[in-house]
Structure formats: C-alpha cells, structure tokens
C-alpha cells in the first residue's frame, strides 16, 4: 500500500523511499537498483477506481457467495508498546524485588482479550512482534516491546478503544513499578466506498448471475488510499478456508474468473459503455 499512499498524498515520497528492512536496505535503494523509480509525475485524476481482491476471510465461503460487494474498510491503528523494567539476575533477585516488564505485558494481554470480548463481534485486537532485551534467558528483561493491531469500522469506537488500551497499559506498568511508552505507527481511518462504485459492482454481479452479498473489509487495501482522491470500490472473491497471510492461502481459478467478469462489467458501467 506504500505506492498508493504516496500517490494519494498520505505519505511523502522521500519518507517511503527511506523505509528499510532489517538488513538496512531501503525501498529507494531497491527501486533505484531495479530501475523502477521512474520520473513521471503521479497523482493524475481518476474517474473511478475498482480493485479486485480475495476476501482474506471466511465469510463468502461460509455463505456460498461468489462475489463480495465491498462497502468499505474498517479503521486500522497499529501501536508499538514498550514496557520498561530493570535488568537483574534471574537466579539471585527475589520475585518481590523485581521490576519485571513481563508482568505488565501479561496483564495487558489479558486485558486486550477482555476488551475484544466486550466489543465483539466487530473489533479486532492482535498483539504480535514480541521482543525483549537483553536477549538472555537468565536476566530479568530491561524492556519488552510488542505491537498491537487494532481495528473497528466505527471511528468513535476506535478512539474509545485507543483510550482504554492506553489506560490498560499504564495501569499494568504502574502496578509493577515499570515505565511504559506507546507509539502509533500506523493510523488509517475507516473508509466508506463511493455509492456509485458499490452500485456498479452490485449491478455487475446481478448481471452475471453470481450469488453475492455486501461485505465490509477487515484488511487494508490500496483502495483505501485512492478513495481519498477518487471514487473507489472493491470486489471480493472467496479464498479457501478464508486463509490469508499464510502459506496455505489459495483461490480456485473459477473464483478468479468470476471476479474478473464482475470487474469488467462494473468498469464498463462506470465508463458509460456498458
């Protein structure tokens, strides 16, 4: 989604070019090496934008629908949480004299799942990317860092979840004599797709005789950024067992074909040539 973010003005080009991997190689380095950086101006106005994608979830497969008419995308906020403790010897430091960041982390994780249950079924809360320093099995960590992926389709609810999460982390850290830091590393507001684009996809699915349903997207897509600058919509097709971000992810050729057929007819409709 970096390319669409730059195109839509969400992220500066220089900032995206500077993004690096763990070995220090940046996006700009690779674009230049491959000759893909380009010199053409971008941001040309669009009449409309349609994106075809697998659902990345189980809803269409479970309902038997061939086409998902995507109405919008839920808001997404990523946090990097750091709990600061104090390094000490694991064998000689009594449990009650430690500033152990693992204890606030454990309480925070428990609280996250309680928060998710209280806001079911629409909320998504996912802790991941845990790391501790020093990297030693016989040392109480100096700090533990992890991420939280928070998602909800309603902007106000997302803000309330943000506030609750911050209190949860602060209370857990304070209770065990630890410090804490929370950084927002990604923030995408909920997106509602253009009614005409949504209608064109729905009409195309009806024209083709494919079973379809309206559906919201739980994942972010380029269409989220494009929607800030042009009318946008999306088409979902089912994937096996709803799997995505998994090596077992797969899609039937017939599902791809149906999606492409709907995309064609929706595009012709929006272009006024249907």
Domain locations in the chain as residue ranges? 1-35, 45-73+191-270, 75-188
Q: What is the pLDDT of residue 274?
A: 65
Q: Please give the Cα distance from 81 to 184 (Å, whole number).
A: 9
- Looking at 3.40.50.720, 3.30.479.30, 2.40.30.20, 3.30.70.360, the CATH number of the domain 75-188 comes to 3.30.70.360
123-181: per-residue pLDDT in tens?
A: 999 999 999 999 999 999 999 999 999 999 999 999 999 999 999 999 999 999 999 99
What own/partner pairs with CB < 8 Å and gap ≥ 24 does 5-11 have?
A: 5/225, 6/42, 7/42, 7/43, 7/225, 7/226, 7/229, 8/225, 8/226, 8/228, 8/229, 9/43, 9/228, 9/229, 10/225, 10/228
Centre a 10 Å sphere on the Cβ of residue 29 and count the other Cβ atoms it contains: 14
Positions in the chain short of pLDDT 50: none
Q: Give how far the C-alpha of residue 177 lies from the chain's centroid of Cα atoms, to the nearest Å.
A: 33
What is d(CA 216, CA 56) in angstroms, rounded to the nearest whole number? 12
3-state helix, strand, coil in the chain (%, to 5): 40, 25, 35
Indicate the pTM of the whole model.
Answer: 0.81
Question: What is the model's pLDDT at position 86?
Answer: 97
**Contact (Cβ atoms closer than 8 angstroms) between residue 70 and residue 263:** no
pLDDT value, residue 126: 97
Cis check: omega of the bond before 74, within 30 degrees of 0:
no
**Which of 161, 188, 156, 157 lies closest to 72, judged by CA?**
188
> What b/e sequence results for 204-227 when a residue is b if at least 16 CB atoms lie within 10 Å of its CB, and e otherwise?
bbeebebebbebbbbbbbbbbbbb
Cβ pair 56, 219 in contact under 8 A: yes
| 122-139 as b/e: b if 16+ CB within 10 A | ebbbebeeeebeeeeeeb
Superfamily of 45-73+191-270 according to CATH: Zn peptidases (3.40.630.10)
| pLDDT value for 112 | 98
């Amino acid at each position: 989604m970096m390319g669409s973010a730059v195109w839509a003005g969400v992220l500066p080009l220089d900032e995206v070019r500077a993004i690096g991997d763990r070995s220090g190689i940046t996006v700009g380095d690779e674009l230049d090496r491959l000759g893909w950086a380009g010199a053409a101006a971008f941001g040309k106005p669009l009449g409309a934008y349609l994106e075809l994608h697998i659902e990345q979830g189980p809803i269409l497969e479970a309902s038997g629908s061939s086409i998902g008419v995507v109405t919008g995308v839920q808001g997404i906020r990523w946090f990097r949480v750091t709990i600061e403790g104090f390094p000490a010897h694991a064998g000689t430091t009594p449990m009650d004299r430690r500033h152990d960041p693992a204890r606030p982390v454990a309480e925070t994780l428990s609280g996250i799942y309680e928060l998710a249950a209280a806001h079911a079924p629409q909320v998504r809360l996912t802790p991941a990317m845990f790391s501790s320093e020093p990297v030693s099995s016989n040392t109480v960590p100096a700090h533990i860092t992890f991420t939280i992926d928070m998602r909800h389709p309603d902007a106000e609810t997302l803000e309330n979840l943000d506030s609750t999460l911050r209190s949860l982390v602060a209370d857990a850290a304070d209770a065990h004599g630890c410090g804490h830091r929370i950084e927002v590393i990604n923030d995408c507001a909920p997106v509602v797709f253009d009614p005409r684009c949504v209608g064109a996809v729905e009409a195309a699915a009806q024209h083709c005789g494919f079973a379809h349903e309206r559906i919201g997207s739980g994942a972010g897509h380029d269409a989220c950024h494009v929607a800030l600058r042009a009318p946008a919509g999306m088409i979902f097709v089912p994937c096996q067992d709803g799997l995505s971000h998994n090596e077992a992810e797969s899609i039937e050729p017939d599902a791809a074909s149906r999606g492409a057929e709907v995309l064609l007819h929706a595009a012709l409709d929006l272009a006024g040539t249907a």
